[in-house]
Amino acid sequence: MKLKVLIVAILLGASLQGCSLIPAYHRPEAPVDQSWPQGPGYKASSVGAADSAKSIADLHWQQFFRDPAMRQLIGLALTNNRDLRQAALNVDAYRALYRIQRSELLPTVDVNGSGSRQHLPADRAISGKDGTYGDYELNVGVASYELDVFGRIQSLDESALQTYLSTEEAQHSVQVGLVASVASAYLTWRTDQQLLQIAQSTMDSYIHGLNVMQSARSAGTTSDLSVRQARTLVDTARTKTLTYTRRVAHDMNALALLLGTHIPGNLPDDGDWTQRMIASIPAGLPADILRQRPDVRAAERDLIAANANIGAARAAFYPSITLTANTGVASAQLSHLFAGGQGQWTFIPQINIPIFNGGRLKANLNYSEIQKDIRVAAYEKSIQVAFSEVADGLASAGIYDEQLQAHRDLVQDNSAYLDLALNRFQHGVDNFLPVLDAQRNLFAAREELASNRLLQLQSQVQLYRALGGGWDDTQLASARHSEPHLE
C-alpha cells in the first residue's frame, strides 16, 4: 500500500501554503474633534476624572445602577430577553460559518470502499468466456485539495473570522442597549407612579377646596363662578389621575416585554430611588473613548473583513493548484482484497491558469475595493454618531443639575405661596380664589419637577450607553458555547 504517496501529497500541500495578498490595514482617522464640546451648555465637571484610570466600558452595570430593584430587573432581562438571545444565536451561527471556512485550509481525507459483482456473456467478457466477475476496492484519499499558494483561502478565512467577531460585538451592543432600555423603562415606570401619587393627592386637596367653596356658596359668601372654578380643578386632577393610571399600566407592559418575563411582585424598595445612580465619566480623548463602543468595534471588524476580501480577489488572478491523491487495495475477489500485491495508488495534480474571463476577476476586485470604501464610511459614521450622542449626554449632564434646582425652588415658592393664600383665606383677608390658583401652580410645578428629574436620570443612562458601558462577557457566556480556536 503506497500510503506514503498520500502523506507526501498532504505534506506538499502544507509546505506550499504561501503568501498573503491582503492589503496592509490602517485604521482610519476618527473624523471628530480631539476634545469634547465646550460652551454655555456644558459644565467642566460633566467630564469628571473620578474614574479616569478605569474605562467606562469596564464599569459594570451593577456599579453604575445602584438601585436594587433596577438591578434585579436588568438581571432578568439579560437572562430572558429574546433580542439578546437572538444576538447570541447569531454569534453561534457565524462561529459555525467561520469554522466551515477555516476547514478549507486543511485537506479532507476520506476512506471509500466499494464492491460489485456482475455476470457477463462471452462476447463482453475480456477473457472471452462467460462468467461472474467481481471488483472490490478500499481507498484512502484526498480529493481536490487546493494549495493556498497565493493566500486566497487564508484571505477568506480572515474575512470569516472578522465577520464572526463583528457579530460578537453586535451582541455586546445589543446587551448595552438592553441594559439602558430596562433602566430607562424602570425610571419611566417609577416616575409615572410618582406622578400618579401627586395627581391623587392633589385631587384630594382640590376636592377639599371644592367642599369649602360649596359651603361658602351656601352661606352666600362666594359666587357660583368660584365654585365652578374649584370644580374645574377637580376635573383636571381626575383627568390627570386617569392618564397616569393608564401610563403606569403601559409602562409595566413595556417593561415586561424588555424583561421577557413578568415583573416580580417583590421588588426591593429601600428609599429614594432617584438618588442611587452614579454617572462619573472618565476623562480622555474622544477617539480613544468612542472606540470602546461595541457598535464602533463591530464597524471596524466589518472593515477588516472587507479588507481581507480584497486579498482573496487579488489571489484569483493567479494560478490555482489542486491535488487529488488516493491509495488503497483492489481485487476481483473479496477474499483476496488484503492479500499481498493488491495495492494501488493515484496522484493527480492540477493547475488552473486564468487567461480570459470577460473581465469578471477585475470586476470582482473592483467590487471588493468598493466594499472596503463603504465599510470605511460606515466606520467613520459610527464614530460621528457616537460623538454626537456623547456630546448630547454631556450637554444634558451640564444643564440638568441647575435646571432641577430651579424647579425645586419653584416648588418651594409655590408651596409657600399656597401656605400664605390659605392663611389669608382663613383670616378673612382674601377669598378662596388665590388658594385655587396656588394649588394649580403647585400641582404644575410638582409635575414638571418629576418629569425633568426623569429626563435627567435618563440622560445619565444614555450617556453611560453612549460611552460603551454596560456589557460584560461573563454574562454573555451563559448564552454561548465554547469558543473556537482563533489564531
The full set of domain ranges for the chain reads 20-115+145-317+357-479
User: The C-alpha cell of 286 is what?
Assistant: 474622544
Encoded amino acid at 157, one letter:
D
- pLDDT for the residue 465: 87
Q: Which residues of the chain have pLDDT under 50?
A: 1-2, 5-6, 9, 45-54, 279, 476-487
Contacts of 484 by beta carbon, 8 Å cutoff, 6+ apart:
95, 98, 99, 102
Contacts of 210 by beta carbon, 8 Å cutoff, 6+ apart:
227, 230, 231, 233, 234
List pLDDT tens digits, range 444-465.
999 999 999 998 888 888 888 8
- pLDDT for the residue 252: 95
List pLDDT tens digits, range 33-92.
888 787 777 765 444 433 443 456 567 788 788 888 888 999 999 999 999 999 999 999
For residue 328, list its beta bridge partners: 139, 344
Round the CA-based radius of gyration of the chain to a whole number and report it: 37
- pLDDT for the residue 483: 39
List pLDDT tens digits, range 94-128.
999 999 988 888 888 888 888 888 887 877 777 77
| CATH classification for the domain delimited by 20-115+145-317+357-479, as one of 1.20.1600.10, 2.60.40.10, 3.30.300.30, 3.90.1150.10 | 1.20.1600.10
DSSP-derived letter for residue 277 is: B
- pLDDT for the residue 222: 72
Among 251, 248, 250, 212, smallest CA distance to 229 is for: 212
Among 186, 79, 269, 259, smallest CA distance to 454 is for: 186
pTM, 2 dp: 0.81
- pLDDT for the residue 106: 84
